[in-house]
Amino acid sequence: MAQSLRDDVAPATGTTGPGAAVLGGRVDRGARTAAALGAAVLGFFVVTLDALVVNVALPSIRGELGGGITGLQWVVDGYTLMFAALLLSAGSLSDRFGARRAFGAGVVGFVLASLACGLAPSMGALVAARFVQGAAAAMMMPSSMALIGQAYPNPVARARAVAVWALGGSVASSAGPVLGGVLTLVSWRLIFFLNLPAGVIALLLLAKTARSPHRPAPFDWIGQITAVAAMGALTYGAIEAGAAGIAAPRVLAAVTVAVIAFICFLVAQARGAHPMVPLDLFRSPTVTVAVAVGFAFVVGYYGLPFLMSLYLQQVRGLTSLGTGLAFLPMMLIGLVLTPFSARLAERLGARTLVTAGLLAMTAGMLALAVVPAASPVWLVVALMVPVGLAGPLVMPPVMALLLNAVPGSRAGTASGVFNTSRQLGGALAVAVFGALLTTPAGFLHGLRAGLLIAAAVALAAAAASPLLAARSRAPRPA
């Protein structure tokens, strides 16, 4: 009895004993899981932040480095394109090397690339660094989710951890324009230097996490190379079409390369032993429509900040901070409503919510396209809010429908395809919209044309959304 009491009080008094060992193990495990979650959240935060924060700084970057609209398009698309192209195979690399090691390599690459962005002496150097930054971001995304999955084996605790992880992205989306505006008042280079302390903290937290298991994972080299070639050539062709014209030899050559590479990609996926994108995934209408919805949503959600940042600063004369504040209501409504999206989907139906969100985005884009150029800035800000409202109405429900439409063994692949379609939508939006801004018709004509295209794409996705599964229930695996 006395020995038992001593064992029970040992942890409190600092003496050793079985109780101390148990408590010490629990504390150690708790610290490791918290460190894993903290590192993953920081990684997702900086990855999301760098996809949006640069939009507000574009006029300042152009003023210092030159390069015209084409250079600014590559500053945005260099990051997004590599993110999209490498995201498909980053998951298998994370499995092969272990999530901890893959995430660490991604963070180191991201920090070094951010440093190179901040020190870039020319537009070419900045674009090259953005390519490396996007590649590192692609490595960080799936490995951050894998870290959470390994740290939280309990499904309930894991779901809560994923919610915290997702909140990091929402905070980055909301804070990005304002933070970019504030930092750009001093220097646009600070928006990249901000990643340095965040990356160092993430690495320190990662050092406290448990080692990740790793296993041999097949890598689809042919699929990866052809995917990069197809996406890169298509984006290059769209960007150069604005400067050289759609019939220019280099534009036609880029489109030809994109078509050939895409055909080779499809053949590799159909005949390969370990394809990145199993084509039979698309036998499900829900998977096909969900991927299309993700693409259409990001065309507007990423394309709008690119267009409106240039409009508000170059046409309306706002500062970078004023432009960031103009985006704040649009971003905040998404941050506020995201925690309630699951309850809304349960009450109204996920399919209904997705359709309503896409229609709200369509209405906002149409209104911005037809409003007079001299309208009060507050009206422009108000008309951007429906686009922000679409975020919590579309993304969480359509992601849930997608994952429930595939067997659990293919959830990671389906998620990778979905996120790749989103990033590709953002890259093409910036490429096409930027090209429209440089046409002889003028900036405002190109702005309105881009907004109308985004509205048409969102409306088409809304028309297809009734094909999504009516119920959020996973089919039984064959």
Cα distance between residue 279 and residue 270, in whole Å:
6
Inter-helix orientation angle 443-464/285-310, to 10°: 160
pLDDT in the model for residue 398: 84
Tokens of residue 113, six digits: 């690339």
Q: Which tokens go with 134?
A: 């996007």
d(CA 23, CA 15): 12
Whether 383 and 286 map to the same domain: the answer is yes
pLDDT tens digits for range 185-215: 889 899 899 889 988 998 998 888 777 666 6
Same domain? For 253 and 319 the reply is: no
pLDDT at 13: 38
Taking the C-alpha atoms of residue 114 and residue 189, their distance in angstroms, rounded to an integer, is 9
Confidence class of residue 8 from pLDDT cuts 50, 70 and 90?
very low
- Across 118-122, 247-251, 373-377, 428-432, the highest mean pLDDT is recorded for 118-122
- The angle formed by the CA atoms of residues 5, 7 and 11, to the nearest 5 degrees, is 115
According to the model, what pLDDT value does residue 14 have?
Answer: 41
> What percent of the chain has a predicted confidence (pLDDT) above 70?
86
SS3 466: helix
Q: Is residue 268 part of a domain?
A: yes
What pLDDT score was predicted for residue 10?
36
pLDDT of residue 433: 87
Structure tokens at 2: 């006395």
CATH number, domain at 376? 1.20.1250.20
**Residues 418 and 294 grouped into a single domain:** yes
The answer to whether residues 194 and 234 belong to one domain is no
Task: Label each residue of 246-305 as H, E or C.
Answer: CCCHHHHHHHHHHHHHHHHHHHHHHHCCCCCCCHHHHHCHHHHHHHHHHHHHHHHHHHHH
**Is residue 214 in some structural domain?**
no
Same domain, 134 and 118: yes
Residue 22 has a pLDDT of 44
How far, in Å, CA of 200 to CA of 443, rounded?
Answer: 41
The answer to the question of residue 80 being in a domain is yes
Between 155 and 61, name the one with better pLDDT.
61
- Counting Cα atoms < 13 Å in the Cβ hemisphere of 118 gives 19
Give domain status of residue 161, yes or no.
yes
Q: 156-165, 266-275, 353-362, 468-477 — which one is most confidently predicted on average?
A: 353-362
CB 410: neighbour CB atoms within 10 A? Answer: 17
26, pLDDT greater than 70: no
pLDDT at 18: 44
> Is the pLDDT confidence value at 478 over 80?
no
Is 413 among the domain residues?
yes
Q: What residue has token string 């895409």?
A: 262
Tell me the C-alpha distance between 382 and 376, whole Å: 10
Q: Is the pLDDT assigned to residue 367 strictly greater than 90?
A: yes
**Range 83-87 average pLDDT:** 81
For residue 7, the model assigns a pLDDT of 35
At residue 185, the pLDDT reads 86
Domain residues for 286?
280-469
Asked if 281 and 287 count as a contact pair (C-beta separation under 8 A), the reply is yes
Domain count, the chain: 3
Please, what's the b/e burial string for 87-111 (b: 16 or more CB within 10 A of its CB; e: otherwise)? bbbbbbbbbebbbbbbbbbbbebbb
Supply the mean pLDDT for the chain.
80
Residue 431 lies inside a defined structural domain of this protein? yes
**Termini Cα distance of the chain:** 57
Please report where in the chains the tokens 């890598």 appear, as a residue: 219
The predicted pLDDT at position 392 comes to 82
Q: Show which of 187, 209, 231 is a domain's final residue.
A: 209
Beta carbons of 213 and 54 less than 8 angstroms apart: no
Q: Report d(CA 146, CA 36) in Å as an integer.
A: 10
DSSP for residue 211: P
Q: How far apart are CA 194 and CA 186, in angstroms?
A: 13
pLDDT digits (tens, 9 = 90+) for 209-265: 777 666 665 777 888 888 888 888 888 888 887 767 777 888 889 889 989 999 998
CA distance 78 to 51: 10
Same domain, 342 and 389: yes
Residue 264 shares a structural domain with residue 298: no
Average pLDDT (73-98) is: 79
Residue type (1 letter), 178:
V
**pLDDT score recorded for residue 20:** 42
Specify whether 245 is located in the same domain as 202: no
The region of weakest confidence among 101-110, 192-201, 313-322, 364-373 is 313-322
Is residue 67 domain-shared with residue 143, that is, in the same domain? yes
DSSP 364: H
Residue 476 placed within a domain = no
Task: Give the model's pLDDT for residue 256.
Answer: 92
Average pLDDT value for residue range 128-155: 82
- Pair 266, 289 in one domain: no
Instruction: Give per-residue pLDDT as tens, 153-175.
Output: 776 676 677 667 777 777 777 77
- The closest of 448, 344, 345 to 401, measured between CA atoms, is 345
Q: Please say which residue of 154, 179, 209 terminates a domain.
A: 209
Among 249, 275, 301, the domain boundary falls at 275
12 in any annotated domain: no
Q: Which residues lie closer than 8 Å to 438 by C-beta, 6 or more apart?
A: 68, 69, 70, 242, 243, 446
- Read off the pTM: 0.76
Residues 127 and 188 placed together within one structural domain of the fold: yes
User: CA 205 to CA 209: how far, in whole Å?
Assistant: 7
Same domain, 271 and 287: no
What is the rounded CA–CA span in Å between residue 73 and residue 209? Answer: 38
